[in-house]
Amino acid sequence: MNIAKIGVIGAGLMGNGIAHTALLSGFDVTLIDAFEAALPKAVATMTKNMDRQVTKGTITAAAKDEALKRLVTSTDLSRLQGADLIIEAVPEREELKEQIYRQIAPVLSADTLLASNTSSLSITKLAAMSGRPDKFIGMHFFNPVPMMKLVEIIRGIATSDATFAAVQAVAEKLGKTVAAAQDSPGFIVNRILCPMINEAIFTLQEGTGTVTAIDAGLKLGANHPMGPLELADFIGLDTLLAIMRVLHEGLGEDKYRPCPLLVKYVNAGWLGRKSGRGFYDYSVNPPRPAK
């Protein structure tokens, strides 16, 4: 299947990055968001990030201009008509995703492929909700999308070989390395990464180490580029909690139980960088441990 036109639903951090990468890879992109105000903000972010790439010499100014000319933005889901592949990148709520799949069903052709950027939800379940399970697949990108080289591709139980092959080819054209994963809670990366971060939060809660000591320990002792608590703030503590709950419910083992301190921070609205406070206080530069 020749995929030339990509639709992206959700103009937030992930959807913006997916659209950015697809444009620079030669695809025509239609970016949809329910909120009109989100669209010019998304274009401004893409433009700023592409300008940074021009300054670094990774793309040319002409490539940036040509890419942005192939971008269409809208709040109208019917503008997705004619897309060969639609990537849904909305928040991790099953009911929201199901509502979107129902709304876009009338505009999809028989051949349109549908992918979800979910980081942990069951692809098989989402595929059933979509009404086109053979043409549904998981396509999990990592933040920031233009820089991160990995994409997990996850087949549902009914995903066809043709769908997998077509989406794998798209991922490779985007310049990504593909990690094929089975449809299991958390897939590969989050199944390993999020429990490690959760354990770091338990370590903080129990007073074994401070925020600074825990992050320095993993950066210097395990050669991680970011400490686990710094990474938690970068991911978003609400996102981390949602993934841990999926792992705990789906796998049923106590080792996946979300740390109570993580739950407390999310309840307080301390979500990390995006809220200005998490394990670090981002109102100062450089950020300092919040407690």
Give me the domains of the chain, ranges plus CATH numbers.
5-181 (3.40.50.720), 191-289 (1.10.1040.10)
Active-site annotation holder among 116, 140, 198, 248: 140
Task: Indicate whether 1 pLDDT > 80.
Answer: no
What are the tokens at 106?
């009338």
Quote the pLDDT of residue 152. Answer: 98
Q: What token pair was written down for 91?
A: 């928040």
CA separation for the pair 103, 5 (Å, rounded): 19
Cβ atoms within 10 Å of 134's Cβ, excluding its own: 14
pLDDT in tens, 230-254: 999 999 999 999 999 999 999 999 9
Catalytic residue among 16, 116, 130, 190: 190
Q: What global pTM score does this model have?
A: 0.92
Query: Hunting for tokens 């390993």 — which residue is that?
Result: 192
C-alpha to C-alpha distance for 90 and 6, rounded to whole angstroms: 16
- Quote the CA–CA distance of 223 and 228 in Å, as a whole number: 12
Annotated active-site residue 190? The verdict is yes
Q: How far apart are CA 100 and CA 115, in angstroms?
A: 12
Tens-digit pLDDT profile for residues 126-181: 999 999 999 999 999 999 999 999 999 999 999 999 999 999 999 999 999 999 99
Q: Which of 16, 116, 117, 119 is catalytic?
A: 119
Q: Has 119 been annotated as catalytic?
A: yes
Active-site pick, 116, 117, 130, 152: 152
